[in-house]
A and B are shown apart, each in its own frame.
Chain A
């Protein structure tokens, strides 16, 4: 008898399943491991506390130190104007830079979807065009996209426009190719029957094809969202003077590991939340297919 789902502690089963308590235990184990590593490195090297700061340092100076990333304009004075490091100022800094990153990531992502879907539908309608675009995309897919962010800073300057354009460039190809492939996989009668009823190609695309390909596009839309977050991070790391990626780069320049961990944690949280939102929205849109 083979067990269908893993129930025995160390047995072999056909299926295992994710468990929330394992996730929680993993996070706790990670924190304990970090603290032990900090104690070990701190005791054995002169710069240990700076390289692996203990959790109490991450939760104190790691947070208040972020006050330096507040750029002003929202009421309170900045640290450059003489304000002391504090938790409220750090919260403002995190909020200000998170908003900048969120706007860039989401604007770029939505633009990529808005462009990729209709162009993908148009490309899929003509087989030679789809094959030609696949040829170009096959080459572009292999380019080191993340390392091309300095190009966009050269073209658009170190601005939010550069970041949004870069995110759009990164995510656009994912949506375009997935749309074209999804249309190609649809059974022919699905579009032939409405055509006999007199629907125009545009009506067929919007009313028949688009809803039909959404379930197949769900994974690609998630992948594009992940790509968008990687691209926004890359663009902020190299050149742009605001956002969580910029703050992360500054902590690297001055080796402020305690602040680095906090910024990375905030970025990871936002990225994870965004992907869950995309998953939730696409899940609702494709609920009929499950």
Chain B
């Protein structure tokens, strides 16, 4: 036990050193490049973050009503989080049930087969035309993505449970519903948690990139405007901020699901 704690601490220490080395290497490359407009160093990006956090008058002159980070972050991450919740919940139910009911597998298979392999971003233009540039189009797009990716993994997780485990439960008198609760759900939970974390990170990325295509508010909208201005530092500051908040959300999911995964050791 103490050995594994030491190992985790060592991994964390080397991880932190890696990030520090990356930071220094980035700063050095930026210094030798000598052009903040091409490759700004971390300090320039940090400066851009500090000065843009509460809004930028220059962007407001361009007609952007909300140019501050908090409103745009809340918009982007709020939409992505709601979509992730809806899509993932539907994906878990559909995936687990489809692994045990052939008619449901037949219904979900075409969608999961095609969009399990094809980037969902390809459907973004269609969603924008149908549901407008507001949050609904992005919410549906991200929810659909989460449904597919979580559904595929949940189905595969349920199919990978050894049949003997369920047969043994049946010999103990558990009916189909009880076996689902006592055997299928706990066994499929670890891969489902892993894919939920992946779906959140990729869902946020999809939300931001859909906002690049057309949106009135959101981090993607700000990235599009800053990229048009050629402001690399601002684009990096916005992307890193989204990444850090997504990292915090990822840690929250890990902490929330840890008690349920304790049996894994």
Contacts and interface: CB of A to CB of B under 8 A. Distances in A.
A15 B99 contact: yes
Interface stretch (B47-55, B63-71, B83-91, B240-248): B240-248
Contacts of A272: 114, 117-118
A15 B159 contact: yes
Nearest to B128: A252
B102 interface: yes
A197 interface: no
B31 interface: no
Given A144-B208, A144-B242, A272-B118, A249 B101 contact: no
Contacts of B101: 6, 10-13, 16
B125 A150 contact: no
Contact of A18 (B103, B109, B111): B109
A188 interface: no
Given A141-B201, A144-B204, A264 B126 contact: yes
Contacts of B109: 18-19, 22-23, 26
Chain B interface main SS type: helix
Interface string A1-35: 01010111111111111110011011101100000
A59 interface: no
Contacts of B113: 18, 23
A249 B119 contact: no
Interface in B126-161: 126, 128-130, 159
Contacts of B219: 144, 147
Interface in B208-239: 208-209, 211-214, 219-220, 223-224, 227, 230, 232, 235-236, 239
Contacts of B176: 12
A147 B15 contact: no
Chain A interface main SS type: helix
Contact of B239 (A10, A132, A147, A233): A147
A13 B14 CA distance: 47
A134 B15 contact: yes
A16 B100 contact: yes
A139 interface: yes
A4 B15 CA distance: 46
For this complex, into which size category does the number of interface residues on chain A fall?
35 or more
B209 A144 contact: yes
A154 B232 contact: yes
Given A135-B18, A147-B208, A142 B117 contact: no
Interface of B: 10-11, 14-19, 21-22, 38-39, 98-107, 109-111, 113-114, 117-119, 121-126, 128-130, 159, 163, 166-167, 170, 176, 201, 204-209, 211-214, 219-220, 223-224, 227, 230, 232, 235-236, 239-240, 242-244, 246-247, 250
Interface of A: 2, 4, 6-19, 22-23, 25-27, 29-30, 51-52, 128, 131-136, 138-151, 153-155, 226, 229-230, 233-234, 237-238, 248-249, 251-252, 255, 257, 260-261, 264, 267-268, 271-272, 275
